[in-house]
Structure 1
Amino acid sequence: MPSRGPLLLLAATPMELAAFLRHTTLHVPPLAPGDSCAHGGLVLAVSGVGPVNAALAAGLLLERHAPRGVILTGIAGSFDTSRHPLGCIRLIAEEIWPEYGIAGARGVHARALKFPQGEIDGEPVWDRLVWDATADARALGLDLSNIPTARGLTVAGVTGTPRRAAAMVRRFTPDLEHMEGFPVALACRRAGVAFVQLRSVSNPVGVRDKRAWDIPAALAALADTGRGMGEKGIFLGG
């Protein structure tokens, strides 16, 4: 992994970025989707929501700043709130993109398309990426061994019904659902850059009744995690 260059801290929205840095000494200026700013050895950036915005931002920021590592942070939905409850924080160690491939009567099948999304370490990338997230964290000076790992599902269309949530679980066995992880992970893996994705849980997947959600708890979990990193000086290095 590259040892030089800034650390890139990326979130889909200004709200998530501000939450992560809430208890640090860093000032977060107003950033619109696609914006970034430098703070010494740290680059703060907002990608915008969704996999297209995330892919565009990741490619641009990796090219522009040649970072030593990328931390992607934000909120997510949980497929099983007994294992991944509202307000918890998780380290993503696998990403799935369920919308890539040929869509048939039994769902989307990536390999049926016969065009992988590239190669990583000589292996074709279809609809899954797996990496050693704990090792990538260590490469950035982070000990995240106390944070449970989880499998992320990246979607462009958020799961809006329990039926679809159950179908996603049967097909892909994910833990959390969000909208940016896969493309950023793929970009970092291709570039050989350490990648850490930290997600807090704000809602059960497939439930649109906001009374079952707890976004404030999810943002507070991001803030607590960011504070822990700030106290260790992670955001000061270059």
Structure 2
Amino acid sequence: MTGLLLVTAVEAEAEAVRAGLGGRLTVTAVGVGPAAAAAGTARLLTQAEAGGRPYQGVIFLGIGGGFAGRVEIGGTAIATRSVAADLGAESPDGFLPIDDLGFGTAVAEADPGLLAALPQAVAGTILTVSTVTGTAASTEALATRFPDAVAEGMEGYGVACAAAGLPFAEVRTISNVIGPRDRSSWRIPAALSALTDVGKTLGLA
């Protein structure tokens, strides 16, 4: 893969991907949360454009939570679409996504060409949230609203917005099961190791 901007949220994720890339591509940490990730990605894209070396696509890579029964801890999830799950409004009848309000869309579709070039993994919707899910009730609500969702993170939709029409994809390796918050059950080393494996695939493509 050439001409791609590879971004993560934090440096530990970037280091894990670099370990697999073997120096063939670069990867940059752009910040945690949709706003910081969007701003960091936009800055890198603008700098590349100004330097006469525009990127041809953007891939976000990071660790995240996985929905039980849909993807395993240490496994890899690839987004068919990245959805801002909490972008909308509350109502007496339940959550109203921004799409229903007529103010745009909370959905960023992944580029089919990039998806075809990524390693085989569990594919489905990856949710972008500003508050990580940490209760059984909120987990059930999200799983019901998004029956095809496989994972959640905090940056994918923001990075997709910054990509502004460029081919985009999101990859998450799973450190924990989404549900009641239990930090002791998280397996971050396993998720980072899986990111390195993804990097090896990208470095060979």
Q: Which category describes the TM-score, using the shorter chain as reference length?
A: 0.7 to 0.9
- 1:23 and 1:44 map into 2 onto residues whose CA distance is 11
Return 5+ residue gaps in structure 2 as ranges. 49-53
**CA separation of 1:148/1:110 partners in 2, compared to 1, >3 Å: closer, same or farther?**
same
Amino acid at match of 1:86: I
**Which of these residues, 100, 107, 110, is aligned with residue 87 of structure 2?**
100
Partner residue, 2:199: 226
**Which of these residues, 49, 52, 56, is aligned with residue 32 of structure 2?**
49
- 2:110 and 2:21 map into 1 onto residues whose CA distance is 29
| Superposition TM-score, scaled by structure 2 size | 0.86
Question: Post-superposition shift, 1:197?
Answer: 1.7
- Percentage identity across aligned positions? 32
Question: Post-superposition shift, 1:58?
Answer: 2.1
Give aligned pairs, total: 198
- 1:100 and 1:24 map into 2 onto residues whose CA distance is 34
User: Larger Rg: 1 or 2?
Assistant: 1
- Which shifted more, 162-171 or 179-188? 179-188
Partner residue, 1:32: none
Alignment of 1:91-130 (within 5 A): 91-105=78-92, 106-116=94-104, 126-130=105-109
- 2:21 and 2:5 map into 1 onto residues whose CA distance is 16
**CA separation of 1:127/1:23 partners in 2, compared to 1, >3 Å: closer, same or farther?**
closer
Q: Which runs of 4+ in 1 moved over 6 A?
A: none
**Which of these residues, 153, 177, 184, is aligned with residue 204 of structure 1?**
177
Alignment of 1:23-42 (within 5 A): 23-26=20-23, 42=25
Amino acid at match of 2:162: A
- 1:109 and 1:69 map into 2 onto residues whose CA distance is 27
Indicate if the aligned counterparts of 1:137 and 1:194 stay in contact, CA closer than 8 A.
no
Higher helix proportion:
2
**CA separation of 1:107/1:137 partners in 2, compared to 1, >3 Å: closer, same or farther?**
closer
The alignment partner of 2:19 has SS state of coil
Amino acid at match of 2:47: R
Partner residue, 2:137: 163
Indicate if the aligned counterparts of 2:78 and 2:121 stay in contact, CA closer than 8 A.
yes
Return 5+ residue gaps in structure 1 as ranges. 27-40, 117-125
Alignment of 1:131-142 (within 5 A): 131-133=110-112, 135-138=113-116, 142=117
Amino acid at match of 1:187: A
CA RMSD of aligned residues (A): 2.2
Question: Post-superposition shift, 1:137?
Answer: 4.3
Indicate if the aligned counterparts of 1:102 and 1:112 stay in contact, CA closer than 8 A.
no
Partner residue, 1:179: 154
Question: Post-superposition shift, 1:112?
Answer: 4.5
- 1:54 and 1:83 map into 2 onto residues whose CA distance is 26
**CA separation of 1:22/1:131 partners in 2, compared to 1, >3 Å: closer, same or farther?**
closer
Partner residue, 2:42: 59
Alignment of 1:9-24 (within 5 A): 9-24=6-21
Amino acid at match of 1:79: F
**CA separation of 1:111/1:227 partners in 2, compared to 1, >3 Å: closer, same or farther?**
closer
Partner residue, 1:213: 186
**CA separation of 1:211/1:222 partners in 2, compared to 1, >3 Å: closer, same or farther?**
same
